[in-house]
Amino acid sequence: MFEVTVHSEEALSGTLATEWENLIRGSMAEVFSHPAWYNAYRVAEGIREIGIVCARQNGELVGLLPLARCRNDYRGLFFPVVAPFARGDFQPPIIRPDLVAELLPQLLDKAIQHFKHPGTIWWPFIPNDDPSLPVLRDYFLRRGMPTFEETEVAPRLRVNGLSFAELEKTWSSNHRIDVRRRRKRLAETGAVSLWTPSTLEEAEALLSEFFEVHDEKWLSQGYPGKFQSPRARRLFTECLRRMWGRGMYFTTVRCGDVHVSYHFGFLSGGWIQWYRPAYRSEYFGFSPGKIHVALLLEEACRNGWNGLDFLLGEEPYKQLWSNETGRAVSIWAGSSSRAPSFWWFSKGKPYFRRRFVGSLFKAKAWYQNLLRRGMETKP
């Protein structure tokens, strides 16, 4: 028998948070399932209507669903959804694996009861091999709730216990030669090293630099700058502060005294997680991102880690490095196939994304560049 209860945001600290950490420790999704990660989103996004559905067996915490009724931005036409209120590239339900089939339906029943008329339920980025995925599908089917799914690819490079020299030999000769050549050329301008901040204060100073470098690169290429938004800066700042010492792995490639490449990433379940990279545009010819990946792989080999997970996205450079491919599934479930919110997420939004997202990105980048030029000309 399970005791199932619902808690407010206060559960993100104190005793329950410690039990929560014990439940996720060592998993590949540990960072994105961490109470500190959820707390960062709660604070940065101002999330209010939170319901953390918890289950205990003989007093032990064995499962929880950290949910909220969240209102989307314009990309979701401002429709509210009930969903995990943090967003990571892997976001499985947090349940002891041997209890998923029995426990997940009970937790979902409690969540629907708590949120009363939840409308559309969205569960993003469940790893394709997670035991909760078939249970979730079956649950919505039995309740007669129409569903829509999207699948995204997650390339990764598994080290398999090799030394870095042995790992290099598994790459194509062209790739291996190019990585060495780029690294040698950069070293001719200054000593090349992988650097990590040793204190939170150093990391916060580096983060401000990262924001500027990241957006300068993207805006110069005609794409929007993510960190032109104060909300995005606030979220990454909260994530850094709350995940410091809890899986945060913020690194740079230094050439002499200059940071030429940045990676705001994590170490979770023995994997380096490639979350948000950036590099200085003036070093483009040296392929600083490629050098950064190679240095991180050296660290993985040296420390006996599993490898480098490039997380979600099929960018060609990820495919060049990877030797494995994972997948993550996002599920929308609606109260009715005719409900406006479910129609938008299942049909309207995918159509809009296919037809117009490129033009929207260009328009947004143009507007952000216009604002930046205006700021630069102000006395």
Which tens digit of pLDDT belongs to each residue from 249-281? 999 999 999 999 999 999 999 999 999 999 999
When pLDDT is averaged across residues 109-119 and rounded to a whole number, the result is 91
* Residue 35 CB neighbours (<10 A): 26
Question: For residue 379, is pLDDT > 60?
Answer: no
As a whole number, the mean pLDDT across the chain is 92
Instruction: Give the per-residue pLDDT at 291.
Output: 98
Question: For residue 370, is pLDDT > 80?
Answer: no
Q: Pairing mode, if any, of strands 120-127 and 80-84?
A: parallel
**DSSP code of residue 257:** T
Specify which residues 329 forms β-bridges with. Answer: 126, 151
pTM of the complete model? 0.91
Give the pLDDT band of residue 366 (cuts 50, 70, 90): low
Which tens digit of pLDDT belongs to each residue from 274-312? 999 999 999 999 999 999 999 999 999 999 999 999 999
Instruction: Give the per-residue pLDDT at 61.
Output: 97
Question: For residue 377, is pLDDT > 70?
Answer: no
Which tens digit of pLDDT belongs to each residue from 204-254? 999 999 999 999 999 888 888 899 999 999 999 999 999 999 999 999 999
Which tens digit of pLDDT belongs to each residue from 6-37? 998 887 888 899 999 999 999 989 999 999 99
Instruction: Give the per-residue pLDDT at 73.
Output: 75
Which tens digit of pLDDT belongs to each residue from 29-58? 999 999 999 999 999 999 989 999 999 999
| Full set of structural domains in the chain with CATH | 3-152+328-374 (3.40.630.30), 160-305 (3.40.630.30)
Which tens digit of pLDDT belongs to each residue from 137-194? 999 999 999 999 999 999 999 999 999 999 999 999 999 999 999 999 999 999 999 9
Instruction: Give the per-residue pLDDT at 374.
Output: 59
